[in-house]
Amino acid sequence: MNIQDIKQRFGIIGSSPLLDRAIDIARQVAPTDLSVLITGESGTGKEVFPQIIHQFSARKHGPYIAVNCGAIPEGTIDSELFGHEKGSFTGAHEARKGYFEVANGGTIFLDEVGELPLATQARLLRVLETGEYIRVGSSKVQKTDVRVVAATNINFVQAIEKGKFREDLYYRLNTVPISLPALRERREDIYLLFRKFSSDFAAKYRMPGIKLEADAEQLLSNYYWQGNVRQLKNIAEQISIIEKTRDINAATLLRYLPQNNGSTLPSLVRSDAATGGSEFSERDLLYKVLFDMKKDLNDLKKIVHDIVQFNSGQLNHLSKDDMQLIDRMYNESDKPESTALTIHQPTVINSAPSAKFNEPIVIEESLSLQDKEIDMIKKALQKYKGKRKNAAKELGISERTLYRKINEYNISE
């Protein structure tokens, strides 16, 4: 079955190369028994891919169980996954099979696997390596034959470093990784998804469908979509129900879009990688502006020098402030800043500028990119009280990149 047939069968909408790549990996790994780790932001549709893997595997006639690890209390998670014996804890009035026992011969999908307690992680690692587990309150080792597919939206590198996730379990789960793109990384699919959702809601609520005007369509495609497909579907449903006018313009759409979801820093400017273009960060652009300003200042200094040298007889027409500025530019530019700023009486210029007037102005501020980067990281961490996820978003970089730079520069939080 080709990728298009898989999309149609499982209701996947979009033509993004990143999405097609993820589907292709799922299709290829399905016939094997390898563990698969699906990563991606919340709302990207990670729950669909374990179903694709199960349906195209030799286990498709076996059971398929999806478990939300983040929704099960820590005190009962072991019992839910591995079962328990009667009387093993308060309320255990009878023996109970766990999900790994029920899913024997099939596939188990562990959603939000990064939320598992460390003790449960050790039990899961044993199941993955040997197929063995022990019920809570029992000493009898049991066997299971289960294909494990896991999903998470956490940064595993950061979780491992903090001791919240076992590194050996991560590598065992991550035998085959599948990364799902965020909605903002597949902008060509946003309008298609919105049309599908709005059409479904129009049929569900028996009302005319909504139509986006050109400015609204552009706003929809350029929005950040922090909640990804789930947020887009929610917005489509709200508009379908609330708006009486079925032609939606940008002003109307804007009322449904939260405005505090993106970075306040300048956006990262990227050229199309396919055209071989280069990439510039907002920091690179900032320093380019600074260097251009320095060049303009030196040019201005030269112009003033020429005016003084060739039109010295007309200086009496200048204001006292202008004369003081000119005198300071070529007579005192090399003095400490505190001296240059304490002139109380204007200086009368009776001669041509000194030779040092032609010397370029030296900006004493450090132009080290590393120093500026460290300072920006510290300010972002201080602003969000050490919350790296928010700090990374403010800086316009990924959490993994921020974590690497904190270690590289030995930044204390």
pLDDT value, residue 360: 53
pLDDT in the model for residue 398? 84
Q: For residue 377, give the CATH number of its domain.
A: 1.10.10
- State which of 154, 181, 208 marks the end of a domain: 181
User: What's the CATH code of the domain at 237?
Assistant: 1.10.8.60
Residue 348 contacts residue 362 (beta carbons within 8 Å): no
363 within some domain:
no
Integer CA distances (angstroms), 232 to 35, 143, 148, 186, 193, in order: 31, 43, 30, 13, 8
- Half-sphere exposure of 375 toward its Cβ, with a 13 Å CA cutoff? 8
- Residue after which a domain boundary falls, among 152, 181, 210: 181
* 373 and 350 together in one domain: no
Report d(CA 34, CA 147) in Å as an integer: 7
> Is 107 inside any structural domain?
yes
How confident is the chain (413 residues) per 10-residue block, as mean pLDDT?
A: 92 94 96 96 95 96 96 93 91 92 96 95 96 94 96 93 95 95 94 95 93 94 94 95 93 87 43 41 62 70 63 57 62 46 43 50 57 83 85 83 82 76
Does residue 176 form part of some domain?
Answer: yes
- Same domain as 203, residue 153: no
231 in a structural domain: yes
Residues 77 and 141 in one domain: yes
Same structural domain for residues 73 and 139? yes
Instruction: Judge if 248 and 300 occupy the same domain.
Output: no
Q: Note whether residue 144 is domain-resident.
A: yes
CA–CA dist 214, 212 (Å, integer)? 7
Query: Per the confidence metrics, is the pTM higher than 0.95?
Result: no
Residues 189 and 309 both lie in one domain:
no
Shared-domain flag, residues 125 and 44: yes
SS3 37: strand
Question: What pLDDT was estimated at residue 331?
Answer: 57
Number of domains in the chain: 4
What is the dihedral sign for C-alpha 182, 185, 191, 193? negative
Own/partner pairs, 260-265, CB within 8 angstroms, 24+ separation = 261/224, 261/226, 262/224, 262/226, 262/393, 263/393, 263/394, 263/395, 263/396, 264/394, 265/394, 265/395, 265/396
In a domain, 94, yes or no: yes
- What pLDDT is recorded for position 358? 52
Domain-terminating residue out of 164, 181, 198: 181
**DSSP letter for each residue of 347-382:** PP--SPPPGGGGSPPPP-S---HHHHHHHHHHHHHH
Please report the pLDDT score of residue 302 as a whole number: 65
Give the separation between CA 145 and CA 58, rounded to whole angstroms: 13
Half-sphere exposure of 285 (CA within 13 A, CB side): 11
Q: Quick check: is 263 in a domain?
A: no
**341 lies in the same domain as 211:** no
Model pLDDT, residue 305: 65
Asked if 14 and 140 sit in the same domain, the reply is yes
> Domain limits at 324?
283-358
**In DSSP terms, which residues pair with 111 in a beta bridge?**
68
334 shares a domain with 310: yes
Do residues 123 and 212 both lie within one domain? no
The number of angstroms, rounded, from the C-alpha of 282 to the middle of its chain's C-alpha atoms is: 17
Say if 120 falls within a structural domain. yes
- CATH number of 73's domain: 3.40.50.300
103 with 125, same domain: the answer is: yes
